[in-house]
Amino acid sequence: MAGRAPGLVIFDCDGVLVDSEPLSLACLTAGLNRIGVAIDVATVRDRFAGTSMVSIMAHIARDYGIEAPPGFVDAVKAETLETFNRELKPVRGVAEAIRALDGPICVASSSDPVRLRHSLTLTGLLPLFSGNVFSSAQVARGKPFPDLFLFAADRMGVAPDACLVIEDSVPGVTAARAAGMRVAGFTGGGHWTHDLAGTGLKAAGAATVFSDFTNLRALLSD
């Protein structure tokens, strides 16, 4: 990460800002099981964390030969939001770390706009980003393609090579690197009970990996 301070820090949301992945992955796994997809939560995590529902359902149709019934995606989204209402928390230390930053920041997430803003509102993080919140629904292709990160950088008026992305998933790291951005991998979310060193994130192109937001300011100033 050494060299220069970023002109823009782009945060993923799920698993970085809000500790949502254990909740959403459990809801998705239960929903897939109900329609006959024989898959467990560990496989769902490894294959689908950080990707949009559109991409997930395309993979399920291709790899399992099961087309989701009408209303399936909406039902899973509704169940997930209900679970969030009861249990969602911000990632430990993230609000304090964001408040300590000096430069521009934004969010770029695979979540749909409703879930994204709901999550940030529930956890009290939305005001920290001054409306600079971007969803994969705003671009043609979600992660692992670079479209979302390039869109966010363009909206924020910052060149891609001046951006630093904070990501917790391999598709997210892949997308950021394809956009020509530096990436720091984050492994402090509740779903990171595996590969705590972030081996997969590093292999995908993360320059460094951290698990505690108290280290963020020092990481950005190195």
CATH number where 139 lies: 3.40.50.1000
Is there a single domain that holds both residue 58 and residue 157?
no
pLDDT at 222: 62
Is there a single domain that holds both residue 81 and residue 113?
no
CA 84 to chain CA centroid, nearest Å: 16
pTM: 0.84
What's the domain range around 110?
A: 8-19+89-221
Is there a single domain that holds both residue 157 and residue 174?
yes
Burial 82-100 (b: 16+ CB within 10 A, else e): ebbeeebebbeebbebbee
Number of domains in the chain: 2
- How far apart (Å, rounded) are the C-alpha atoms in residues 156 and 167? 18
3 domain residue, yes or no:
no
Residue the block writes with tokens 């993923």: 12
Handedness of CA 36, 71, 118, 98 (dihedral sign): positive
> What are the 10-residue block averages of pLDDT along the chain, 222 residues in total?
80 94 91 96 85 88 94 94 94 95 95 92 96 95 95 98 95 96 90 68 93 86 68
Helix (H) or strand (E) holding 163: strand 163-167
Q: Which residue, of 34, 59, 87, is where some domain finishes? A: 87
Q: Which residue, of 37, 72, 87, is where some domain finishes? A: 87
